Structure 1
Amino acid sequence: MLKKHLNTLITLFFLLIFSGASYAQTETKDSVALRDFLSELESKFDVKFSYADTDVDTVYITKPTSNVLNDILNELGDITGITINKLNDRYYTLTKTTTISICGYVLDNFEENNIPGATVEIYESNLSGVTDENGSFNFENVPINSLVYIKHLGYRPIFIEAKVLLKTNECKTIAMALSYQELDEVIVTQFLTTGLYKLNNAGFELSPSKFGILPGVSEPDILQTVQALPGIKSVDETVSDINIRGGTNDQNLILWDGIKMYQTGHFFGLISAFNPYVTEKVTIIKNGTSAMYSGGVSGTLSMRTSEELPLNFNGGSGFNLISGDVFGEIPIQNNMALQVSARRSYTDFLNTPTYTTFSEKAFQDTEVNSESEFYFYDFTTKFMYEINPYQKASVSLINMSNNLNYLETANDSLAPNRSNLNQDNFSIGSELQSEWTDYFSSQLSFYYTQYDLDALSISNNDAQQLEQNNLVKESNIKLTTNYKLRENLVWMNGYEFTETGIENTTNVNQPPFTSNIKGVIRKHGLFSEIAYSSEDEKLNGFIGGRVNYIENLDTFQEYIFEPRINISYELLSNFKVEVLGEYKSQVTNQIIDLEQNFLGIEKRRWILSDGDALPITKSKQGSFGFNFDTNRLYVGIDAFYKEVNGINVYTQGFQNQNQFDGEIGSYAVKGAEFLINTKNNDYSAWLSYTFNKNDYTFDVLEPSTFPNNLDVRHAITLAGNYTLGDLKIGMGINYKSGKPFTRPDENEPINETVFPTEINYEDPNSSRLPEYFRADASANYTLKMGDTMNAIFGVSVLNFTNRRNTLNTYYRLQNDNTIETIERLSLGITPNASVRINF
């Protein structure tokens, strides 16, 4: 049956059709006109009725069965909503009622228990409230033609006409059906820590509001937390350079409320740029991605803020040794709400031990000195509007910024060198979710995102000025529909259009030089997918694909077909097998320019595929795995193969003889991931191991195949946490084999036969850094300060053994033709502390 919810006008239109303009029963073969029935009563009981013709002319009723006048009149009043007043023994008046009193009891139709706290809203009025401890509600002066909307988290909402709830001797009982999400079921109740789940589709879900504790993290950090999963690491300890199964960070699709993010970190990648306290869930997908997602040939990370309207104001604030933040969820009306969050560092006016350690890590091997001034901030807001019970709209906005300014004075300089670096991201998006019938729903979304990286350097006594800029602008619109063919079979279809423009600019005044490279790519995508879940829930999965038409306005057009498959089957009790596969592509990448860098700190710049120097990057991946899960034990293993084509050496960050060649090639990763996790309500302990063999292939280089820059063969994590009342403690160690690098030739390190002189290198990536080892710990304590308020005190230490791991080694040729060895080191011992108040 069509749900009468498009808007109030259409709803009232249907009510008039089904109910009549006078709020009574419509005419049927068993009904009579109220006017005719009143005439019968006048003759039978020798009485007279006075009324307005318009109040009764369109009203039809079923004749009451009673033969007593008072009983007949009471029943007429109940079924028509017309007030009947007795003037004397013979004369009565009939008056049309515009408002009524309603009441009801809300029950769970599965358990048949009362549901307290359910929200009850009266459309076309300002009336609203919640059910009491008995599940009951009642309202006076309710407009007679209004609609009543009842909702509660975990139950399907109910849309009912007010007249059905007319207050009589007994209030009506309303049964709410449980709401099931059949194809997105959580199968692991606790995975490593509370708030981290494994899904039926082999993906993972993080719920920051329920997050427990992980070693080295005293409060939730989204991009730090995902690195606890096998196959997801960062070779340089940053959250903005996450490597999923051997891929580079620009090959990850990062979404915030459906908006693609081109900036993900603060402090040049050491801190996540997303506030976890307004993020309801984070979905992490390494393979078997839904066809609705485009881009991200290595992996997908989708963050969603809350979509439920808050009943009451709630929020919180806190600070740590880097920044302070505040957030809140604010009801505006019964169908409107606002979420806001803001965070700012105080590193520009307060030095802390954490900031000092971060600075040493971020600014090593750069021009930045102790006179630098750095700060960051981020701000988010979301407006939610429930148009009616079956349509919801929202608008989300996020703004983030990093700012660095510094002075550097040389001994022979009259004026200091002045430099600044600004990294900004502004994004806005909107969504309209509609449930048209019990079987058909849709989601329409739009977003605009802009990323801007600006650098300015003034030197040589103000004589030389260098300006650099990287600007990304992207617009997207997407329509997704879901049609339930059966209770366990859903067909998804959709269309997506994306326009991406990127500009890179360099200006130098002395000597004069200008470069301005810009381009625009438009992408159309059609996608379709069938999802199935068996009645016994043993078989779950989907199969689908998308067709992309990609058009670079200057150089090329191309069609790309991307099939996707994701199947899991429970062979035995608690034992599941998973088969996943996908083809994906992307048109944006980051080049790493080691000569024209942004002050030596932020070297990455976004660029577009042009079909020539940088083709469209394409990947194909397949994996096979199984997992065994009980309430106390989880064991999982996955084997995978991934191949990525269309990469350029500029996007890989070579620091050897190949760094300026601009060659096109590919890489292939063969790997396996193993995890064993034992847990109960008090503790969780886990051991994970990841093996990767990651090799480049560049046909024109010699040798043509050699280890990938991200070829970390072995990675092991041993960690655990323990909960004792309101105290949580976490501790763990991380081990990784060293990543490859290229040494100068031992016998002939310098080639002086060419101009300019060059370093002679050994075969690319033929050497390895020492192994990486880090031990972390954290703890927090929750102090309850009332029914709705608590304080959380947290401490954490990264690398408490203070081992200085070598993250990278490369070489530079000095003016005197000697070779300088550059080593980038890991964080030293890094303490942090936090205090939060939630209410």
Structure 2
Amino acid sequence: MRSKQLLSLTFFLFFLNVFILKAQNIQKEKQPLSAILNTLEKKYNISFSYADKTILNKQAKLPNNNATLKDALNTLEKETHLNFELLNNRFIVIKPAKKKRSSFRVQNLDEVIISNYLTTGLTKLNDGTVTIKPEAFGILPGLIEPDVLQTIQALPGILSTDETVSNINVRGGTHDQNLILWDGIKMYQSGHFFGLISAFNPHITKKINIYKNGSSAKYGDGISSVIDMQLPNTIDNEFKTGAGVNFINADIFAKIPLSKNTELQLSTRRSVTDIIETSTYNQYFKRIFQDSDFTNNNKGANTISQNESFYFYDISAKFLFDISKTDKLRFHALNVNNRLNYEEQSTINNRPEVLNSKLWQQNTAAGITYIKDWNSQLQTTALIYVSNYDLDATNHDILNNQRLVQENEVYDGAAKIDINYTHNNQLKINGGYQFTEVGISNLEDVNNPNFRSYIKEVIRSHAVYAETNLLSYGANTKLIFGTRLNYIKKFSMLFAEPRLSFSQRFLNNFRFEILGEYKSQTTSQIIDLQNDFLGIEKRRWVLSNNTNIPVLKSKQASVGIHFKKNGFMASAETYIKKVNGITTRSQGFQNQYQFVNDTGSYEIKGIDILLNKQFNDVVSTWVSYSFSDNNYIFSNLNNGKKFPNNTNIRHAITFAGTYTFNDFKLALGVNWNSGKPTTQPAETQNQSNAIVYKSPNNSNLKDYLRTDCSATYKFNLSRTTYASIGTSVWNILNRKNIINTYHTRDNDGNINTIENESLGITPNVSFRVYF
């Protein structure tokens, strides 16, 4: 009996061994790639997207059974020379591999200090830059789409004191101190719905680089930050399109190969608010139009009704033409538009009166880029662009028979040549020249009493810059040092702006970082009256005149230390920034300094801390804390003593987490910060109309607290098509946050307190399809 059992066992082991050997041989034999992809889709519960011609006649060996998905993809990339791009945990795009010139040295360099920074699609480089890739973007609390200017507010040191993307404060600066570039073109309008939505469609944007300090010498303007949005710039002969809709807008984008060497990229977005009224629209409407001429209808009881029409849209296009392997031509254009019209009906002297008031805001930009590869080491890029911003308002007051016309227009034309020389992977040199002409005009026209004011200023500037990028073998040390030399002919001003970025890795998991920069800018925004442009858009662009509006200059230095190991990351940065040349008119005072003209400075000292723990690409949690001490110094205000900046948020804390399971993503976050400074009226008042105030910014608003959540789910519609559905809730607890307070006197001499509220509970739902 035992011999029979032994014999049976022997035969079983023999056939098992034969089966295993046969399976291994099959695994070692090359198979059609299409068959391997089908096997992997079932094994890893994933989906591949590709053009049939991409995998035609491609063969490979089936990856080992115990290989991880990442290892399997790496193996296939080596065998097929194709590019496998993992969009998320399930969807993988297969593309032809980019051809590399044989004359380049090829070396893997660890340029990244932190990948999946907070969520997928966010990366921090070892020069201090934070990069966002919308295509690979994961999820953040309150967001169901990668809104560019909302996303960056998840970073420590960046917030908006009034929740809008048109008022982003980076380390205490005002929004006009941010340099916003769209494919190399400077933009003067950043928001739709007058600031609640980013004006830039993220689904056609390839990459966004954010610099809080230590920016490259090639960037001029923007003394607070640089937000550099880049569209895809290479032709990969792959058709791609998608469309989506949510409770605010609908959009569609397409990437269309026209031939082997031409491609067209298109995107358009339009609000649906004039077609369907949603709860999201109602909350946005209430938030933006509160305390404006549109909602503050104090023109008398005879005013019967108002019929409003509001919508926004944006259109972008980019045409790519590869003239040859070494010559490339790019055409890019963008139009961003917001429009509001409303009617006022009234009966005066038994006669019906109907007048139309309007507010139009748009930024149109167009540019041409020529790229020349002289050899494997030298490349030049020439860019010519025009950016035009126009804000136009007509406000009718029926009862007083008055019509007020206001217009703010910016014309920005620039020519730039950029030179990149790569000696090797350890030494790179960048330099160039930029000519810029900026003209800004402001018009005010009143018919009763008759008054007209038109002011136009023009500044032409020249800049040359040079920068050296040094990287040690193994990428442990990186040094970028450069200088930008600016000349403003109108003021006969010549000044240098050095830039520095240094990082050093030590003890394997630590990195030490020093950043510094000098910067300047000649454009800024002022607030003349609280009812500028119907009280909805209160900022207007102006140019420096080197007298009462000086050229803004800043200097900043920061020191940071970063640690990353086993999915845990800790980061701490301390900084100091000094800005000279600010005006009271640009700071939005609503106290005793509202109508005072003076120039001064502000200085901010702070620290940004971030702790992030990731668990197997499934859970990511983080907490960030920012402390800042931001103070004004005006020689003619407050007896020359410093006082708190209007944007001085002393403490800000964010706690958030994301959870990913296959194609389901969930995010929850809590944002808290101390209230912004405000000025209280004095206990003793006089009989004049002017309010007597206590010392400026002597108190603070109540603390701000907001809880947000969001969730998305992706699913296949076919082998090459998938869809996603998402939902988000902003301010889940519907907390009433006061974001601004000011005081007025009524006709009886009483002091009234005006409070502006933040968004209440605001749900949103989106649906998208990708082809």
Q: Any idea what the Cα deviations from partners look like across 1:127-159, whole Å, max 9, x if unmatched?
A: x975745389xxxxxxxxxxxxx9977966367
Aligned residue number for residue 554 of structure 2: 619
Matches within 5 A, 1:136-151: none
Q: For residues 792 and 616 of structure 1, do their structure 2 counterparts lie closer, same or farther at Cα, with a shift above 3 Å needed?
A: same
Pick aligned residue for 1:571 from 484, 506, 526: 506
Counterparts of 2:366 and 2:638, CA distance in 1:
47
Pick aligned residue for 1:393 from 311, 326, 329: 329
Task: Quote the sequence identity (%).
Answer: 45
The secondary structure found in structure 2 opposite 1:599 is: helix
1:405 Cα offset (Å): 0.8
Q: For residues 616 and 408 of structure 1, do their structure 2 counterparts lie closer, same or farther at Cα, with a shift above 3 Å needed?
A: same
Aligned residue number for residue 286 of structure 1: 212
- Maintained 8 Å contact 1:155/1:176: no
Pick aligned residue for 1:457 from 386, 390, 395: 395
Aligned residue number for residue 636 of structure 2: 700
Matches within 5 A, 1:16-95: none
Pick aligned residue for 1:237 from 153, 163, 166: 163
- 2:590 is the alignment partner of 1:664: no
* Larger radius of gyration between Structure 1 and Structure 2: 1
Pick aligned residue for 2:99 from 157, 160, 175: 157
Aligned residue number for residue 548 of structure 1: 486
Match for 2:722: what amino acid? Answer: N
Match for 1:513: what amino acid? Answer: F
Q: For residues 719 and 330 of structure 1, do their structure 2 counterparts lie closer, same or farther at Cα, with a shift above 3 Å needed?
A: same
Segment of structure 1 superposing worse, 543-552 or 288-297: 543-552
Aligned residue number for residue 315 of structure 1: 241
Q: For residues 613 and 213 of structure 1, do their structure 2 counterparts lie closer, same or farther at Cα, with a shift above 3 Å needed?
A: same
- Maintained 8 Å contact 2:382/2:415: yes
The secondary structure found in structure 2 opposite 1:187 is: strand
1:819 Cα offset (Å): 1.4
Aligned residue number for residue 574 of structure 2: 639
Aligned residue number for residue 339 of structure 1: 265
Counterparts of 1:596 and 1:641, CA distance in 2:
35
The secondary structure found in structure 1 opposite 2:113 is: coil
Q: For residues 298 and 330 of structure 1, do their structure 2 counterparts lie closer, same or farther at Cα, with a shift above 3 Å needed?
A: same
Counterparts of 1:114 and 1:771, CA distance in 2:
63
- 2:611 is the alignment partner of 1:676: yes
- 2:661 is the alignment partner of 1:729: no
- Maintained 8 Å contact 2:558/2:574: yes
Pick aligned residue for 2:198 from 272, 277, 283: 272
Match for 1:205: what amino acid? Answer: T
Segment of structure 1 superposing worse, 503-512 or 457-466: 457-466
Match for 1:305: what amino acid? Answer: L
- 2:706 is the alignment partner of 1:774: yes
1:349 Cα offset (Å): 2.7
1:486 Cα offset (Å): 3.7
Match for 1:340: what amino acid? Answer: L
1:504 Cα offset (Å): 0.2
Aligned residue number for residue 384 of structure 1: 320
- Maintained 8 Å contact 1:114/1:133: no
- Maintained 8 Å contact 2:632/2:645: yes
- 2:660 is the alignment partner of 1:718: no
The secondary structure found in structure 1 opposite 2:114 is: coil
Instruction: Provide structure 2 residue ranges, at least 5 long, that are not aligned to the other structure.
Output: 1-29, 35-51, 61-80, 84-94, 296-305
Counterparts of 1:412 and 1:180, CA distance in 2:
79
- Maintained 8 Å contact 1:230/1:689: yes
Aligned residue number for residue 812 of structure 1: 744
1:541 Cα offset (Å): 2.4
Counterparts of 1:701 and 1:811, CA distance in 2:
20
Aligned residue number for residue 744 of structure 1: 681
- Maintained 8 Å contact 2:54/2:96: no
Pick aligned residue for 2:364 from 422, 426, 431: 426
With CA pairs under 8 Å and 6+ residues apart, which has the higher RCO, 1 or 2?
A: 2
Pick aligned residue for 2:146 from 220, 242, 255: 220
Counterparts of 2:320 and 2:507, CA distance in 1:
44
Q: For residues 342 and 156 of structure 1, do their structure 2 counterparts lie closer, same or farther at Cα, with a shift above 3 Å needed?
A: closer
Counterparts of 1:303 and 1:425, CA distance in 2:
16
Aligned residue number for residue 383 of structure 2: 445
Q: For residues 803 and 303 of structure 1, do their structure 2 counterparts lie closer, same or farther at Cα, with a shift above 3 Å needed?
A: same
Counterparts of 2:31 and 2:167, CA distance in 1:
50
1:441 Cα offset (Å): 1.2
Counterparts of 1:740 and 1:606, CA distance in 2:
25
Counterparts of 1:739 and 1:563, CA distance in 2:
33
Q: Any idea what the Cα deviations from partners look like across 1:5-59, whole Å, max 9, x if unmatched?
A: xxxxxxxxxxxxxxxxxxxxxxxxxxxxxxxxxxxxxxxxxxxxxxxxxxxxxxx
Match for 1:157: what amino acid? Answer: K
Counterparts of 1:115 and 1:280, CA distance in 2:
32
Aligned residue number for residue 453 of structure 2: 515
Aligned residue number for residue 602 of structure 1: 537
1:784 Cα offset (Å): 1.1
1:235 Cα offset (Å): 0.3
Aligned residue number for residue 49 of structure 1: none
Counterparts of 1:532 and 1:156, CA distance in 2:
26
1:407 Cα offset (Å): 1.9
- 2:284 is the alignment partner of 1:358: yes
Counterparts of 1:736 and 1:310, CA distance in 2:
45
Counterparts of 1:242 and 1:578, CA distance in 2:
25
Cα RMSD (Å): 2.3
- 2:132 is the alignment partner of 1:206: yes
- Maintained 8 Å contact 1:156/1:178: no
Counterparts of 1:180 and 1:222, CA distance in 2:
32
Aligned residue number for residue 562 of structure 1: 497
TM-score (norm 2): 0.85
Q: For residues 154 and 640 of structure 1, do their structure 2 counterparts lie closer, same or farther at Cα, with a shift above 3 Å needed?
A: farther
- Maintained 8 Å contact 2:237/2:259: no
1:560 Cα offset (Å): 1.4
Counterparts of 1:691 and 1:427, CA distance in 2:
37
Aligned residue number for residue 230 of structure 2: 304
Match for 2:607: what amino acid? Answer: A
Aligned residue number for residue 172 of structure 1: none
- Maintained 8 Å contact 1:377/1:400: yes
- Maintained 8 Å contact 1:417/1:457: no
Counterparts of 1:408 and 1:772, CA distance in 2:
36
1:392 Cα offset (Å): 1.9
The secondary structure found in structure 2 opposite 1:254 is: strand
Pick aligned residue for 2:760 from 818, 828, 831: 828
Q: Any idea what the Cα deviations from partners look like across 1:136-192, whole Å, max 9, x if unmatched?
A: 9xxxxxxxxxxxxx9977966367xxxxxxxxxxxxxxx89896696x933322111
Q: For residues 766 and 202 of structure 1, do their structure 2 counterparts lie closer, same or farther at Cα, with a shift above 3 Å needed?
A: same
The secondary structure found in structure 2 opposite 1:191 is: coil
- Maintained 8 Å contact 2:308/2:342: yes
The secondary structure found in structure 2 opposite 1:372 is: strand
